[in-house]
Amino acid sequence: MLLTLPDILSPEDLRQARQALARAPWVDGRESAGSQAREAKNNQQLPHDCEAAQAIRNLVLRGLDHNPRFFSAALPLKVFTPRINRYGGPANAYGNHIDNAVRVLPDGQRVRTDISCTVFLNDPADYDGGELVVADTYGEHRIKLPAGHAVIYPGTSLHQVRPVTRGERLACFFWVQSMVRSDEQRRLLFDLDMNLLALRQRHGETPETTALTGTYHNLLRQWADT
């Protein structure tokens, strides 16, 4: 499931992120790539433990915690530590690749990359190119969102970031291990949850919505791994 999530970061969050980025110590992004991805990767990243990375990471995680649509779509069990990258100048693209299936946190804990997420930190008018291109059975999807918006998509997807030909593209990216491994099952649960929400807004709580809520939780109980 490919899904956009508006306003993960507020205008104030973005102001704080810009302040942090103004003093950011960028390094070669290939340092964190796997052997296959390293050949395609040409960007810059913030060191994991630098002050700017920590500040932006906290803003993003707080935004996700307050976003019920993210929780409904991702059903997160673990979130890999968000990282920040930059595309522009000679380090301006990331060719076609598929992310590693498992990432390791600094404490040694493993995170299965069921879902990939990108949070855009600056606006499309700030740069040319830089589209995130995600391929699936329906073709290629080109994503370039306003600052503060996010996109999630299956970690199994072939994807790339097109060359940035003007300005800089700034983003935060991370992976989620979901309680529900199957993308198809997550999509069914998300659709059921969103339609239940719409029915409650239109009709209030009814015997039918109560019954369907039970169906939702019984499916989640059957499919979830906690």
Judge contact between 87 and 130, C-beta under 8 A. Answer: yes
Overall number of domains in the chain: 2
Residues 73 and 159 in one domain: yes
**pTM of this prediction?**
0.94
Residue 35 has pLDDT above 70, yes or no: no
Q: How far apart are CA 8 and CA 44, in angstroms?
A: 23
Q: Cα(35)–Cα(114) distance, rounded to whole angstroms? A: 20
Please give the span between the terminal C-alpha atoms of the chain, in angstroms, as a whole number. Answer: 21
180 in Cβ contact with 193 (< 8 Å): no
Query: Could you tell me if 187 and 174 lie in one domain?
Result: no
Same domain, 171 and 210: no
CB 73 within 8 A of CB 188: no
Strand partners, 83: 173
In a shared domain, residues 74 and 137: yes
pLDDT at position 6, please? 97
Cβ-count burial of 117 within 10 angstroms (0-12 exposed, 13-18 middle, 19+ buried)? Answer: buried
Same domain, yes or no, for 169 and 200?
no
| CA gap 159, 148 in Å, rounded | 21
Range of the domain at 30: 3-178
At residue 106, the pLDDT reads 85
Reading the block at residue 85, the tokens are 């990258």
Q: Are residues 31 and 87 in the same domain?
A: yes
Nearest in space to 147 (alpha carbons), one of 119, 109, 167, 127: 119
**Tell me: the pLDDT tens digits for 114-139?**
999 999 999 999 999 999 999 998 89
Which residue, 88, 222, 108, 99, is CA-closest to 168? 88
| Least-confidence region, from 35-49, 56-70, 209-223 | 35-49
